[in-house]
Amino acid sequence: MVLKTDLECLREDNVKITVLGSGSWGATLAILLFENGHDVTVWEFDATRAKYLQAGKIKPFKAGTVLPKGLIVTDSFEMFKDSDVVLFAVPSQYVRSTCEILKNKGISFDEKIVISATKGVEANPVMRMSEVIEDVFGGIYKNIVVLSGPSHAEEVCKKKPTAIVSAAVNIDLAEKCRSLFMSDYFMVHTQTDVIGVEIGAALKNVFAVASGIIDGLKCGDNTKAAIISRGFNELVKIGIALGGKEQTFYGLSGLGDLICTCFSKHSRNRAVGQAIGEGMSLEEAERNLGMVAEGVKNTISAYRIGKELKLEIPIINGIHAVLFEGINPLKVINDLMTRATNL
């Protein structure tokens, strides 16, 4: 008799999983799940891209890995019928429209586990990604798990040690999600604070844009440390006001993700901010990036939350002013640095 290791005992083999989105994060998670022994299909809205990836099995993004031969990429809706798990890995601004497309095709998530690996908050009205999915399908919130934490696809795809959080209102569901993803390089921790995990994941992107602006202006590490540490206080303030637990924000999906995103060369949000600090317009910076930077849209959401709840969030307001009000970024950073505070 061969005894299984602790890690092997956590896994459940051959679960049918559909991953929504073939971008960097969707492809990376799909490969991880496939290598864990699951029956994985990647659904891609763009039929041309789906055929290209399926035929070539090439690296789906810069610094990515080659897709395994047995991993299917398709624009068909057929696989949803038999899927046990559906994983959302599309940009936050496309989660609602993706849900509506699936619902209009008669697809139901009533008997499926739905995992949201998308970081973001819808702006008008303000909704977390799990709330958006629930808003479209109705009655499935109990089936939803959120997966988040400091995890750049560029490093996960190369099997760099990574730790993230699986959160659901039902801890058993969070544990189920954990069993799907656990590997010798991908550690998953579980909890039930869905609100805190999602808010931390979304708002840290705003401060990553701020971090990039500081880099672009060449203000230095002292300035960045001051802005990011005070920005984290704003993240916690908003998160608690929305119902998140304070301790969540000091963990992987809050402070951990903030550090990862604000200081990494892989961060899209930091890259957009840096381009703006160097003199590009927002439109030029986004076009130059060539990918979605969630922090831009998340800034609008964070700004509106602050206004609605009457919270003092000067750094979020300042980044909003740079991105959408035409205010000079150097002036905003100087004003924030000279602003009286007890932090």
* Residues classed as catalytic: 204
Query: Which residues are registered as beta bridge partners of 38?
Result: none
Distances (CA, A) of 227 to 35, 132, 313, 315: 40, 31, 12, 7
Give the whole-angstrom CA distance, residue 56 versus residue 37.
22
Do the beta carbons of residue 191 and residue 248 sit within 8 Å?
Answer: yes
Encoding tokens for residue 304?
Answer: 């509106």
Give the whole-angstrom CA distance, residue 244 versus residue 194.
8
Query: Which residues are registered as beta bridge partners of 16?
Result: 39
> How does DSSP classify residue 311?
-
Query: Which residues are registered as beta bridge partners of 259?
Result: none
E strand or H helix that includes residue 315: helix 314-324
Give the whole-angstrom CA distance, residue 8 versus residue 244.
33
